[in-house]
Amino acid sequence: MRDVADTSAVDDVDDASDGYDPAAGDGGAADVLVCGVGITPFGRSQATGMQLAVEAVNEALADAGLPWSRVRAAFGGSDAAGNADTLVTRLGLTGVPFVNVRNGCATGGSALVSAVNAIRAGAADVALAVGFDKHPRGAFDPRPADWGLDEAYGSEGLMVTTQFFAMKIQRYMYDHGITPRTLALVAEKAYANGGRNPYAWRREPLDADEILASGMVNDPLTRYMFCSPGQGAVALVLCNREVARGLGGGTAPVALRAAVVRTRRFGSFEVFSPWAPGGTPTSVSTDAARAAFEETGIGPDDIDVCQLQDTESGAEVMHMAECGFCEHGEQERLIASGATAIGGALPVNTDGGCIANGEPIGASGLRQVHEIVQQLRGRAGERQVPGDPRTGFTHVYGAPGVSACTVLTR
């Protein structure tokens, strides 16, 4: 076993003792800061997932103004592009503890929670969270056995994620009066925002009529209402307040006030379920969002900009209400009025979301956080939310009933 090149981490832990005070009453969450962010272009290229991850990590370190040797704990993962800890070969063999995370759509969120906890616990003063992925073309093709299901669900064509999202929004539209045009408007906004994001995959504008006419995939969802599996990588460097004070740079650090992962409770309606209980479904997204808000003491009404999982446009509609940003059914009016556009009262998925960026599973959750950090720093370029946003929220949802949410403030 080789020696750790730099043992100053031990001193740093002692020095960090003034950072987290459990008696402070706010849970100490404000003491975790995002000091560096890095992202690669999303879409498709010849690069491997790991190459993208290295690019994102190096960009995040440069953004923070910290060398790789200062990272005291690292957490990362991909769903289909390899083990994150092997990145040390490229990043440098510093001996840093590097934990692989594989948690479906919550991979990035779970890596982030782990990094946050490492800092809160005083185990690290600088921590890395990295998520990356690279998927083949076409819909995901999960194996029934991985989800505890009989092979017949696969052979008869029911192991299809797009089917589930279609059935969930189909019932939601029936219960809450949402129209197909609203679904098209969500996608129209996604492509419009993607056009303002140099890292987005889908940057060509499409209007609602084109989206409605793009061909039914799973009723009521048409082709251009869906995201596609793709590739991309995002890295975030977190630190405690003491490290942040020592960093130069012209940007105020963004505080990661809460990072929460939840799994489903009884009564939810989930992808890959042979059955679901009756009654009004519970929502793991509601649980995770509520926990994140409770941890910070601020609520949905206080949020200036948010990122909600939009693997298809119905998901964005439902997650607006599930995360507490509106009542069920209100989306019909809000979306038509432009409330969720960049200049609206609650901008949603300002970077184009999954619909414009594609879905590299391991990277999506951290892409959302990256976007909020840039918005709160005032560095979002053409897609900058006006009015100097100070608070942001992110949300991912995935199989088999997992959600990760964050609250960030400046």
Partner 1 sequence: MEGALTAVPGRALRGSRCSRCEVAVYPADPACPSCSGPSAPVSLSATGTVWTWTVQRYAPKSPPYAAPEDGFRPFVVGYVELPEGVRILAVLHGVRPEDVRIGMPVTITTGDGVPSARLADPAGVTT
Q: Which residues bind partner 1 (CB under 8 A)?
A: 138-139, 141, 143-144, 148, 150-160, 163, 166-168, 170-171, 174, 215-221, 266-267, 269, 273-279
Task: State which residue, 156 or 301, has the beta carbon closest to partner 1.
Answer: 156
Task: Report in angstroms how near the CB of residue 111 gets to partner 1 at its nearest.
Answer: 28
Task: State which residue, 69 or 273, has the beta carbon closest to partner 1.
Answer: 273
Helices (H), 40-149: 49-64, 88-91, 107-120
Q: What angle do CA 340, 138, 347 make, to 5 degrees?
A: 10
Task: Report in angstroms how near the CB of residue 143 gets to partner 1 at its nearest.
Answer: 6
CA distance 395 to 259: 10
Beta strands 73-77 and 126-134: pairing type?
parallel
Task: State which residue, 22 or 136, has the beta carbon closest to partner 1.
Answer: 136
Task: Report in angstroms how near the CB of residue 158 gets to partner 1 at its nearest.
Answer: 6
Cβ-based neighbour number of residue 394 at 10 Å: 31
Measure the N-to-C terminal CA separation of the chain; round to a whole number of Å. Answer: 42
Task: State which residue, 45 or 170, has the beta carbon closest to partner 1.
Answer: 170
Task: Report in angstroms how near the CB of residue 266 gets to partner 1 at its nearest.
Answer: 4
Residue 119, by phi and psi: left (phi above 0), alpha (psi -120 to 50) or beta? alpha
Task: State which residue, 265 or 379, has the beta carbon closest to partner 1.
Answer: 265
> 268: which 2 tokens?
């939810």
Task: Report in angstroms how near the CB of residue 313 gets to partner 1 at its nearest.
Answer: 14
Task: Report in angstroms how near the CB of residue 352 gets to partner 1 at its nearest.
Answer: 24
Task: State which residue, 138 or 246, has the beta carbon closest to partner 1.
Answer: 138
Q: What is the three-state SS of 115-143?
A: HHHHHHCCCCCEEEEEEEEECCCCCCCCC
Beta strands 221-222 and 305-308: pairing type?
unpaired
